[in-house]
Chains A and B, each alone.
Chain A
């Protein structure tokens, strides 16, 4: 049992601007813990978390793979979240490399097929279309959950980047809910990007049916 990262340095004021870890965070931690052996045997060099928020997930990954064993890149569009992620790393003696950016845009030119572990707990809650883009532009807590139509508006934008970034043996973990239409996600990723997938963990949390989907390149 790997302990959840120490988040005691984060204050209620932080959680006014940054998503507080909840069931959707914890299912991703559990999926990573379940895959600990595969993650370690991958001998990864680079991980990349999109929308790292509190920094809980990448910090947890580092407790599996070793704090000096890889470069833990994190992006977030919200500058408060970047500060919280970096602080969570420090609190747990992990160097998280924060980049205040939308998705992986400034990294795409240099990280072609180079990222071994990609993590994304996206804004997956279905909302009206404009709400997702508006929330991203606000660069605050709303951007952590408002997902637009089917809750897939932001996630869909990232999919084309995943295909570019993922290393040949790389693993991409995505959190999704039933309303995102998971079979359709899996079909599109296979047809558009030749990425195979399986659901590695599923659970019900309140009204949400949460899943963690793992994508890999087909060989």
Chain B
């Protein structure tokens, strides 16, 4: 599934495309919201792995403006709940993810991103 937690971990991997290849930009997306269990310990542990500006940008692309520009120093419950929603409850079901550098299109279908490359694109 392409939730924003996964989107934050995917980079373009076309041969030679090694800079400005993250985050992938969304286009023509269909989004579904699904509740999931709130686990503050998981979120606290995951924060160091996130690219924060990429997450905030992706959330705003999908119409969610609840996250601040800068990661707050105090991780209170209100913030963690907003983060939980953005990371784990917004599902991109259909659409395209586009590399900002080489413009390669990665389609998303039934919530699954197709990150496969053709033979000549593989590094």
9-residue interface stretch from B3-11, B25-33, B59-67, B71-79? B3-11
Asked if residues A101 and B11 are in contact (CB atoms below 8 Å), the reply is no
Asked if residues B9 and A110 are in contact (CB atoms below 8 Å), the reply is yes
Within 8 A of B (CB), among A41-65: 43, 45-46
Q: Please report the C-alpha to C-alpha distance between residue A106 and residue B9 in the assembled complex, in whole angstroms.
A: 8
Q: A43-B45, A79-B112, A101-B116 are in contact. Are A106 and B39 (CB under 8 A)?
A: no
* Residue among B3, B114, B116 with the highest chain A CB neighbour number at 10 A: B116
Q: Give per-residue flags for A50-92: 1 if the beta carbon is below 8 A from chain B beta carbons, else 0.
A: 0000000000000000011111010001010011001000000
Q: Give per-residue flags for B1-37: 1 if the beta carbon is below 8 A from chain A beta carbons, else 0.
A: 1010110111111000000011000000000000011
Asked if residues A106 and B115 are in contact (CB atoms below 8 Å), the reply is yes
- A212 at interface by CB-CB < 8 Å: no
Asked if residues B5 and A99 are in contact (CB atoms below 8 Å), the reply is no
Asked if residues B1 and A69 are in contact (CB atoms below 8 Å), the reply is no
Residues from chain B with Cβ under 8 Å of A100 in the complex: 112-116
Of all chain B residues, the one with the shortest Cβ separation from A93 is B37
Chain B count of residues within 8 A CB distance of the other chain: 33
Asked if residues B112 and A105 are in contact (CB atoms below 8 Å), the reply is no
Asked if residues A82 and B112 are in contact (CB atoms below 8 Å), the reply is yes
Q: A68-B37, A82-B112 are in contact. Are A108 and B1 (CB under 8 A)?
A: no
- Interface residue from B11, B110, B122 paired with A110 (Cβ < 8 Å): B11
Of all chain B residues, the one with the shortest Cβ separation from A75 is B115
Asked if residues B42 and A70 are in contact (CB atoms below 8 Å), the reply is yes
Asked if residues A73 and B39 are in contact (CB atoms below 8 Å), the reply is no
Knowing that A77-B116, A79-B114, A96-B1 are A-B contacts, what are 13 other residue pairs whose CB atoms are under 8 Å apart, sorted by A's residue number?
A68-B42, A86-B112, A95-B3, A95-B36, A97-B6, A99-B112, A99-B115, A102-B122, A105-B115, A107-B10, A109-B13, A109-B21, A110-B9
17 contacts between A and B (CB under 8 A): A68-B38, A70-B42, A71-B5, A71-B46, A79-B112, A86-B1, A86-B112, A95-B36, A97-B1, A99-B10, A100-B113, A106-B13, A108-B13, A110-B8, A110-B9, A110-B11, A139-B116
